[in-house]
Amino acid sequence: MSKVVKKNMAMGKTDYDIPTFSFKSAFVLVAAGALATFIVPFLLSLVGIDRDISIVLGSGIILGGALAYSRFFIETKRGKCKKFWYTYLGFGVIFLIISFFWVYLGSYI
């Protein structure tokens, strides 16, 4: 391996300037997934809200926010900016669609 590649690997950077994904970000996303699919639907079912709709909406809102937070606050330290909100919205919609297929249609993507 060349010295440049070894230096980049030691710094945690990739060849294409893609931010790396740390264990802290992974923990945030796993915790958000558990919160969105188990804890929030259980708590909302206690007040009479349907479990299925709370899983779909919770997955979109919580997982989209957790992914945007981990990317812009944990990994790159950029904070809230226009790209943060685009990432939140985009991945929130993606997670909402995936959870809709998962809960209502019974298909796994």
For 33-57, write each residue's pLDDT tens digit: 999 989 999 999 999 999 889 989 9
Q: What predicted TM-score, i.e. pTM, was given to this entire model?
A: 0.75
Helices (H), 12-63: 23-34, 40-46, 51-58
Domain of 59? 22-104
13 inside domain: no
* pLDDT tens, residue by residue, 53-108: 998 998 899 999 999 999 899 888 888 889 999 999 999 999 999 888 888 887 76
11 inside domain: no
Number of domains in the chain: 1
1 inside domain: no
93 inside domain: yes
8 inside domain: no
58 inside domain: yes
91 inside domain: yes
Among the listed residues 96, 72, 75, the one whose alpha carbon sits nearest the alpha carbon of residue 86: 72
